Amino acid sequence: MSEIEKSELLDRFTYLSERESSDHLALNCPAEQLIEFCTVLRDEFQFDLLLDVTAIDWDVATPRFTGVYHFYSTVKQMYLRVASDCVDNIKPTLPSLVPLYSAADWHERETYDLMGIHYEGHPNLKRILMWDSYPYHPLRKDFPLAGIETPLPAEDVVEQTNLQVSAAPMMGGPFVSSGDGKMSQTEPKAKDESWNEEKGK
């Protein structure tokens, strides 16, 4: 986006502010005005491609969650990043962009699944990568890398076979890492080391 359009945008929409970025133009937009702003972006500024919807978990900071959108204009050949903070830390909410871009459908479901952002107005907001009854949001910073053992209910299988389904043990599977501290301590390693003869002793 040329400098002129950028200042035009910032003048016209007083709620926008420029966001620190190492590459493309990035703007902060409050969640209430997001739909309005994105409609203008699509219809007047020709940002016709919604490439990506994601969110960042800032852990202990407030606001804790920031939704991030990447747009691309096939006419102007230009990227734009729009970020929007979620007001509530407990139940983070953002408006859904599905009415504007169909691409937002799966992206928002993914962000809801992994990060726990609720998109208001989404027609079918359910998990997409994890199974429906999964209770956690794994990309949040308070979720451990090793995962948490979770029962896999599989009601449909139980109903037909009368066999209880249990998840495979996580032994030696997913990695654990303490997260902070020195690299030597954070290096991912197997969660259960009982299989390792030396460590098991």
Query: Which residues make up the interface to another protein (CB under 8 A)?
Result: 20-24, 26, 48-52, 54, 56-57, 68, 70, 74, 77, 79, 81, 101-103, 105-107, 110, 114, 127-131, 138-139, 143, 145, 174-175, 177, 179, 182-184, 186-188
Q: Which CB atom, from 40 or from 49, has the smaller least distance to another protein?
A: 49
Kindly give, in sequence order, each residue whose CB lies less than 8 Å from that of residue 62, ignoring residues fewer than 6 positions away.
89
Query: From the CB of 21, what's the least distance to another protein, in Å?
Result: 6
Residue 184 DSSP class: H
Q: Which is nearer to another protein, 12 or 80 (CB)?
A: 80
> Cβ of residue 44: shortest distance to another protein, in angstroms?
16
Q: Which is nearer to another protein, 151 or 179 (CB)?
A: 179
Which alpha helices (DSSP H) does 13-103 contain, by range? 34-43
Quick count: other Cβ atoms within 10 Å of Cβ 177? 15
Q: How far is the CB of 109 from another protein (least distance, A)?
A: 9
Answer yes or no: are the C-beta atoms of 107 and 52 closer than 8 Å: yes
- Least Å distance between CB 201 and another protein? 27
Q: Residue 99's CB: how many other CB atoms inside 10 A?
A: 14
What one-character DSSP code corresponds to residue 80?
E
Q: Are 53 and 26 in contact (CB under 8 A)?
A: no
Greatest pairwise CA separation for the chain in angstroms: 69
Query: Closer CB to another protein, residue 21 or residue 194?
Result: 21
Structure tokens at 20: 């620190």
Shortest gap between Cβ of 197 and another protein (angstroms)? 26
Nearer Cβ to another protein (12/171): 171
Q: Within 10 Å of residue 105's Cβ, how many Cβ atoms? A: 19
